Amino acid sequence: MKGNRLGGTLCGAMELAMHLTGEYPDWWPGRKYDRAVLAWAGSVTTTTQREVVQKMLLGCEETDLKHPLVGTGAIPADSLIKITNRQAGVRNVIDQIKVHHVSGGESIVSFKTYEQGLSVLQGVFTFVSGQVAKTDPDAMTLNTPVATIGIRGTQLGVDFADGKNLTVVLMEEADGFVGEVVVTNNGGLRILNGAYEATQVSGIAIPPSAVFDVPKSKLLDTFGESLQLLPTEGNNANDFGLDDASVEELIEEAIEEELAEDALEEEEELAEEEEE
């Protein structure tokens, strides 16, 4: 049961703290993240963010790590690394909190308020639907101001960083599985069903672009940071080897592979011309 003053906010704060720190009680039956996460905490206004959400997470409305009450909330004091405030016209409104994760990484929770509008929900992210919507694109959808994305059990990357131009990239999962994505708006429809296929949309009435392939180096450059935060346990997610190497290292490897493939294609074309 959920209603006002029944503890829903406290429960949400405690679960968020568990994911940020990676510290779970033995009885916890839900998802467990074995590495640092990137999370959002949403509120209606900056005032309710400070007086409710921040207070639940930190133990008080203060944001100075040296304050004696900071760290008495859902996030333990010894897990707090840094608190960054936002200039919002309201005192002590937090932009983000950086938290120690038991894996050795650093989780980040960013605070968003719906009064800020669409701009706070822009960005770049990766998404794995798992077993959801394997056959019906209407079973799971992502709605954006410029297009609706129908998902058929797959991993994809979404780049909506400027809030105007949307790029959707279909990725292969860890075992090589590739699902399907249907991108629709008032201008038309595009279907992605091959690994690294993509389309771009720049307006609700403008047709999605022709399908094009995204080089692995470009994919890693755009989605590398979000792939590093993608949970891989139990969901067939593909982090493209970012557990063992940095984004920069994998981009360099991908560029070398792409150059080698281009050179091989040129050699084959020359050989065909000579035969003719």
DSSP β-bridge partners for residue 94: 85
170 occurs within a structural domain: yes
Percentage of residues in the chain with pLDDT exceeding 90? 31
User: Under a CB-based contact definition with an 8 Å cutoff, are residues 160 and 126 in contact?
Assistant: no
What span, in angstroms and rounded, lies between the C-alpha atoms of 232 and 108? 18
Q: Which residue has the higher pLDDT, 137 or 100?
A: 100
Report residue 136 as tokens. Answer: 């019906």
pLDDT of residue 1: 39
pTM of this prediction exceeds 0.75: no
137 and 63 assigned to the same domain: no
Distances (CA, A) of 188 to 146, 150, 164, 185, 207: 11, 14, 17, 6, 5
Residue 269 located in a structural domain: yes
Per-residue pLDDT of 114-166, as tens digits, reads 665 444 455 667 776 655 545 555 557 777 888 888 888 788 888 887 778 89
Q: Are 99 and 123 in contact (CB under 8 A)?
A: no
Residues 181 and 92 in one domain: no
Which residue did the predictor score with more confidence, 154 or 206?
206
- The answer to whether residues 56 and 48 touch, using CB atoms and an 8 Å cutoff, is no
Burial group, residue 212, by CB count within 10 angstroms (0-12, 13-18, 19+): exposed
Domain boundary among 79, 97, 117: 117
Instruction: For residue 191, tell me if it sits in a domain.
Output: yes
Scan for tokens 């050699």, then name that residue.
267
